[in-house]
Chain A
Amino acid sequence: MIDRFLYLVSEGIRSLWRTKTTALATISAIGIAASFVVFSAVVGENISGIIQIARGQYEFQVFFSKDVDNIRAAELVDQIGAIEGIMSASLITKEEAADIFQREFGENIFDLLEENPLPPGSVLKLRQPKDGRIDVNPIIKQIELVEGVDEVRYQERLISLIERYYEGFFAAVTALAAAILFGTVILISNTIRLSIYARRDLIRILKLVGATDRFVRFPFMIEGILEGFFGSLVAAAVSYGFVEGSNYFLSLFTQYRLVWQFQIVALLVGVIVFFSFVGSMRAVRKFL
């Protein structure tokens, strides 16, 4: 039993060498097809990363009424910080507001007006949901209902633009990746079928000498798994090279770096290997 198992495993590996031209063509075809899948995953992941960075910059400035002093302002900040969807709320006292004024305009407000008319306020950061869009309108409405709040300022157009297209973008990327994956599966299946078709004589001879279907299938299964593995390694290497190359050029003018996530690529390698295995099994069955 062990002898037969070892023989079949070695046959699977040796047949890659025996049919090296066909195997190379198959691995290349799988590699090219899988590259599209891995590439779309890497691009999707990085665009998602950029969007998340942009979402992390969402900032709300709340201005309190002029009659609100620093003590009352601190209470209001606590009240606002408790609103659902707000991650942090920090107090800007009247004095800090004057400092900000001086930093931005270069003038001391006391020198200009002999008093500080600037109200205290707060800077808010939003909690990012793991998925789905952020709806800022209910949060804004709740803040505006707090007594003592005079005005809420935020990058309304930018936030609504990002949030409007956020879900649509991920739906499109997922649909595109699924379509590419489907095409890849068909391509892998057909490529392996062609390589097995070229060896239908082997299958026939094995059947004539008394091989069971399982015995015939096993080396092709090993071969399919190896071809899928090597093909997806090619795809992983291509995508890694793309990301590293892009990062080199990005480093010339920005600090942003593309991400190559090992877990996602490993998952895709697993998916490609699985479909190569299934493709082999389906192709061999036609000749049994």
Chain B
Amino acid sequence: MISFKNVSCTFEGGAGIENATFDIEPGEFVCIIGPTGAGKTTFLKLIYMDIFPEEGTVGVDKYRSDKIKKRSIPMLRRRVGMVFQDFELLKDRSVFDNIAIPLHVQGVGMKMVKDEVENVLERLGISDRRDHLPSQLSGGEQQIVSLARALVKDPLVILADEPTGNLDPAASLKVIELLEEINRDGTAVLMATHNFSLVKDRGYRFMQIVDGEVQT
């Protein structure tokens, strides 16, 4: 599903990935660990093709970084759910509207948008927050909304970039448990974190970035 073949990429600050080769299969839960600045975010950016490798090829589903056309990048991103440390929610829209955006982007009909968003709200236990603005939610709730927005489009994989970075321990645990639940239902999860203690005993596959080398 995701494959890195001899990928090298230098990113801001001089650090980089050197000659990384590995595969991630559907339904896996993979944790990318490494200190701040090691390149975890850039690693994820390579997957959703916000940046491209200088050498080698990144493959996601049927898309390959060396062949993809600019107009196909949105199609790739519709297959990938993304969750960010700072939530990246639209502050002037309700929870419902934030979660609905990926469906509108895909041209889903209004009735189905309503049904799908209601489903995911219920699944993640935030139905009572549907009309709230992000500013009216706690950090943990905002991250769950972000997770709902990623999940609503039924992605192949969820990329979570430090999803617990701004959360207290209880909220962090809640988000991790939700990611595990989503993973149990068949969606692959690729989570970047520097908080090893939070994830170390949970049975994930770990990848570590050390001096540009991706150790799997």
- A-side residues, CB < 8 A to B, are 1, 3-4, 6-7, 18-19, 201-202, 204-212, 215
Contacts and interface: CB of A to CB of B under 8 A. Distances in A.
A206 B88 CA distance: 10
Nearest to B78: A210
B82 interface: yes
A1 B149 contact: no
B205 interface: no
A19 B92 CA distance: 9
A76 B105 CA distance: 82
Interface residues of B, number: 24
Nearest to B150: A209
Contact of A3 (B102, B109, B153): B109
Given A18-B92, A202-B90, A209 B107 contact: no
A209 B90 contact: no
A209 B105 contact: yes
A74 B101 CA distance: 86
B160 to A, nearest CB: 13
A215 B109 contact: no
Nearest to A11: B104
B75 A3 contact: no
Q: Which 3 A-B pairs have the closest CB atoms?
A: A210-B78, A210-B77, A4-B107
Interface of B: 48, 71, 74-78, 82, 88-90, 92-93, 101-102, 104-110, 149, 153
B88 A205 contact: yes
Given A209-B102, A209-B153, 12 more contacts: A3-B107, A4-B107, A18-B92, A201-B90, A202-B90, A206-B101, A207-B77, A208-B48, A209-B77, A209-B82, A210-B153, A212-B105
Nearest to B71: A212
A207 to B, nearest CB: 8
Contacts of A201: 88, 90
B104 A4 contact: yes
Nearest to B100: A7
A212 B106 CA distance: 10
Contacts of A208: 48, 77, 82, 88
Nearest to B93: A18
B105 A206 contact: yes
A1 B149 CA distance: 21
Given A18-B92, A202-B90, A205-B90, A210 B108 contact: no
A210 B110 contact: no
Contacts of A206: 101, 105
- Of the candidates B88, B89, B104, B110, the one having the most CB atoms from chain A within 10 angstroms of its own CB is B104
28 contacts: A1-B107, A3-B109, A3-B110, A4-B104, A7-B104, A18-B93, A202-B90, A204-B88, A205-B89, A208-B48, A208-B77, A208-B82, A209-B77, A209-B78, A209-B101, A209-B105, A209-B153, A210-B76, A210-B77, A210-B78, A210-B102, A210-B105, A210-B106, A210-B153, A212-B71, A212-B74, A212-B105, A215-B105
Contact of A210 (B74, B88, B109): B74
B93 to A, nearest CB: 8
Contacts of A215: 74, 105
Contacts of B82: 208-209
Contacts of A209: 77-78, 82, 101-102, 105, 149, 153
Contacts of B76: 210
Contacts of B75: 210
B108 A211 contact: no
Contacts of B108: 3
B51 to A, nearest CB: 13
Contacts of A202: 90
Contacts of B74: 207, 210-212, 215
Contacts of A4: 104, 107
Contacts of B90: 201-202, 205
A211 B109 contact: no
Contacts of A210: 74-78, 102, 105-106, 153
A34 to B, nearest CB: 28
A212 B77 CA distance: 10
Contacts of B88: 201, 204-205, 208
- Of the candidates A206, A210, A212, the one having the most CB atoms from chain B within 10 angstroms of its own CB is A210
A225 B104 CA distance: 22
A6 to B, nearest CB: 8
